[in-house]
A and B are shown apart, each in its own frame.
Chain A
Amino acid sequence: MNTSVRARNLTKVYGEGDVAYHALRGVDLEVRTGEFMMLAGPSGSGKTTLLSIIGCVLSATSGELSLFGDDVAKLSASKLPEIRLQKMGFIFQGHNLIASLSARDNVAIVLRLQGVGVKEALRRADEMLAKVGLGDKTRSLSNELSGGQRQRVAIARALAPSPPLILADEPTAALDAQSGLIVTELLRKLSRDEGHTVVVVTHDSRIFHLADRMVHIEDGRITDNGAEAA
């Protein structure tokens, strides 16, 4: 099976000298293409830092990271936004929708940035919103949606361009247990249908059972690389 993400001896140090904080202390990790992987650990364990480095929104202090076979260190800083736009979908803890845009425009924006025409982008946005069960909310602004519905829009936004890698940061944190489960199941189903690789950072044990593989991180080190689900 191909590898989407390969990290070797990644470290991340915030600050320096006496106030230096070691968020990652030599992380090795591989995420296989099509895998639905969850990264769990206590607060401050380094899981979000690791996700940020994989998502190319934060640079590692040392170590190697390759995405789809490309060494990230060799990419210029100006190339990183393009990598994020073309190859990644993001789902944030707080959904992070653009408040002034309707649900369909929030979903369509990534498609349009990728160069998809307006009509086609909106058509695909509507289609994706229908898949997440919000076919009747396409014109709603985020403040007209519930927390669960907003997170579904965020999922639709991440999946609509069909990126090979989806990174989700605590997608259930702001949701009640039932909604969290539904949203994660939805993410799993849709990504599996499309063959996306998904990395979910979470400490929500209620959704652990949905992962293909659970990776545990503690104090900046991978403590359990997880066994592949049967």
Chain B
Amino acid sequence: MKSLAHYRVMASVGVSMMLHDKAKLAGTILGVIFAVVLGVQQVSILLGLLAKNTMFIENAGADLWIVPPGTRQLQPGALMFDSVVSRARTVPGVGLAEPLLFGSGTIQKPEGGSEPVTLIGTRLPSRLGGPWSMVAGDPSAISQPHTVIFEDAEREKYGQLDIGSVRELNGRQVRAGGFTWGLLPFGPGYAFAEIDLAREITGTPSNRMNFVLVKVRPGQDVREVQRALALRVPEQLVLEREDFARSVVITLLKEQLGASFATSTSFGLIIGFVIVALSMFSSVLDNLREFGTLKAIGCTNFDLALLLFCQATFYGLAGSLIGLALASQAAEGIRSPGLVPIIPKIFYAGVPLLMVGICLMASLLALSRIRKLEPGMVFR
């Protein structure tokens, strides 16, 4: 068994060899940086897009969602009758059960033209379903007649909309009562109104709705209430908030986003892997005689593997840290109400580990060359 000091020697030789060829060092680290920036950016945008699609579910304030059967995404489907709300309210453990309307509208711009909006109708005074993330005005403004809360990022689109501005929405005059920030799903921005106004605007019968939002009484078991609700409204589907959000994510990943983002992220990682592998391999070829000398003077394949692994670890760590810093800056740069890239905190530990792993794998190509190296070559 060799001593720790022995391994430190190999590590220090590895580092000195790596630092000696500065062009190759820079090229290899750039490869890792490229892979990290591309990979992290893709994943952060994907997470941001997924969050856009689940933000409503997560911020609506409901523990349980009663949705039409077969619902996998937050899209308006078949309308429900009022009786669903009434029956839900009779279930023990239910604190609040409120209707939610998801409709589409068209806002007329003063200078001509129109823009689509996703009109959300929520019941006062609970306002289960929003609005939230207010940047101007108060959410309770929707209690005022003909008042709608719009998305701040869409103000220009709607013709320099301000609080108090009046616009025509589906042919009805409404007043802007406030603005939210970042409530932009994939489709048109959200606009919030009291449910009766929303029904009026969208032409929905007054006893119909798209979803029923349920808030469970404090101390009640959500799953038990979910089971009881399922028995009470058997013709509908009762989903727990996290399950619904997960279903949306899974559907999006399976049907739309997953393959595309997985391809681009994998592409970045593969390029990083190839750059590191080729760079380390070429470095070994450049220094073949030195590796042969080390073998001749008594280093084993394991010693030289350790040397390469130290280099690979350095490449992985240095490239990851720089790459993460750049990706964070880039994420901040592209942050907008339309898209908020999300870099989870775990990435700051996970990405360096992943890249070190990839660099270690990439070093195996170089190691295979070293393993084949005969120490006798130094005498030729």
A residues touching B (Cβ–Cβ < 8 Å)? 48, 51-52, 55, 57-58, 78, 81-82, 84-86, 90, 92-94, 96, 98-101, 105, 109-110, 112-113, 115, 117-118, 157, 169
Given contacts A48-B379, A52-B379, A98-B17, contact A113 B290 (CB under 8 A): no
Q: Which chain B residues border A85 with CB–CB below 8 Å?
A: 297-299
Q: Which chain A residues border B290 with CB–CB below 8 Å?
A: 96, 98-99
Please tell me if the beta carbons of A169 and B379 are within 8 angstroms of each other in the complex.
yes
Please tell me if the beta carbons of B296 and A55 are within 8 angstroms of each other in the complex.
yes
- Which of B169-177, B264-272, B319-327, B370-378 lies on the face that meets chain A? B370-378
Cα separation A118 to B5 with both chains bound (whole Å): 9
Please tell me if the beta carbons of A110 and B298 are within 8 angstroms of each other in the complex.
yes
Name the residue of chain B whose CB is nearest to the CB of A141. B20
Interface residue B300 (Cβ < 8 Å from any Cβ of A): yes
Given contacts A98-B13, A98-B290, A99-B20, contact A113 B374 (CB under 8 A): no
Please tell me if the beta carbons of A57 and B378 are within 8 angstroms of each other in the complex.
yes
CB 8 Å contact bits of B2-25 with A (1 = contact, 0 = none): 010110010001001101110000
Q: How far is the CB of B300 from chain A (nearest CB, A)?
A: 5
Q: Which chain B residues border A84 with CB–CB below 8 Å?
A: 296-298, 375
Please tell me if the beta carbons of B379 and A109 are within 8 angstroms of each other in the complex.
no
Q: How far is the CB of A194 from chain B (nearest CB, A)?
A: 18
Please tell me if the beta carbons of A112 and B9 are within 8 angstroms of each other in the complex.
yes
Q: How far is the CB of B166 from chain A (nearest CB, A)?
A: 75
Q: Which chain B residues border A98 with CB–CB below 8 Å?
A: 13, 16-17, 290, 293-294
Q: How far is the CB of A180 from chain B (nearest CB, A)?
A: 18
Q: Which chain A residues border B287 with CB–CB below 8 Å?
A: 99
Cα separation A90 to B293 with both chains bound (whole Å): 9
Interface residue B254 (Cβ < 8 Å from any Cβ of A): no
Please tell me if the beta carbons of B379 and A51 are within 8 angstroms of each other in the complex.
yes
Q: How far is the CB of A72 from chain B (nearest CB, A)?
A: 14
Cα separation A212 to B21 with both chains bound (whole Å): 43
Nearest 7 CB-CB pairings of A with B:
A85-B298, A100-B20, A57-B375, A57-B376, A58-B376, A96-B293, A100-B16
Count of B residues near A, CB < 8 Å? Answer: 28
Q: Which chain B residues border A109 with CB–CB below 8 Å?
A: 9, 13, 297
Q: Which chain B residues border A110 with CB–CB below 8 Å?
A: 297-298
Q: Which chain A residues border B289 with CB–CB below 8 Å?
A: 94, 96
Please tell me if the beta carbons of B299 and A113 are within 8 angstroms of each other in the complex.
yes
Cα separation A126 to B21 with both chains bound (whole Å): 26
Q: How far is the CB of A168 from chain B (nearest CB, A)?
A: 10
Interface residue B52 (Cβ < 8 Å from any Cβ of A): no
Cα separation A44 to B17 with both chains bound (whole Å): 34
B residues 336-380 in Cβ contact with A at 8 Å? 374-376, 378-380
Contact sample, A vs B, 29 pairs, CB 8 Å cutoff: A48-B379, A55-B376, A55-B379, A57-B296, A57-B376, A57-B378, A58-B376, A78-B300, A81-B299, A81-B300, A82-B298, A84-B296, A85-B298, A90-B293, A90-B296, A92-B379, A96-B290, A98-B290, A98-B293, A99-B20, A100-B17, A100-B19, A109-B9, A109-B297, A112-B5, A112-B6, A113-B9, A115-B5, A115-B6
- Max chain B C-beta neighbours (<10 A), residue from A113, A115, A157: A113
Interface residue B241 (Cβ < 8 Å from any Cβ of A): no
Cα separation A110 to B303 with both chains bound (whole Å): 13
Q: Which chain B residues border A78 with CB–CB below 8 Å?
A: 300
Interface residue B127 (Cβ < 8 Å from any Cβ of A): no
Please tell me if the beta carbons of A90 and B378 are within 8 angstroms of each other in the complex.
yes
Q: How far is the CB of B279 from chain A (nearest CB, A)?
A: 16
Cα separation A118 to B6 with both chains bound (whole Å): 11
Name the residue of chain B whose CB is nearest to the CB of A102. B16
Q: Which chain A residues border B123 with CB–CB below 8 Å?
A: none
Please tell me if the beta carbons of A57 and B374 are within 8 angstroms of each other in the complex.
yes
Cα separation A59 to B197 with both chains bound (whole Å): 93
Cα separation A48 to B296 with both chains bound (whole Å): 14
Given contacts A100-B17, A101-B13, contact A92 B6 (CB under 8 A): no
Cα separation A199 to B17 with both chains bound (whole Å): 31
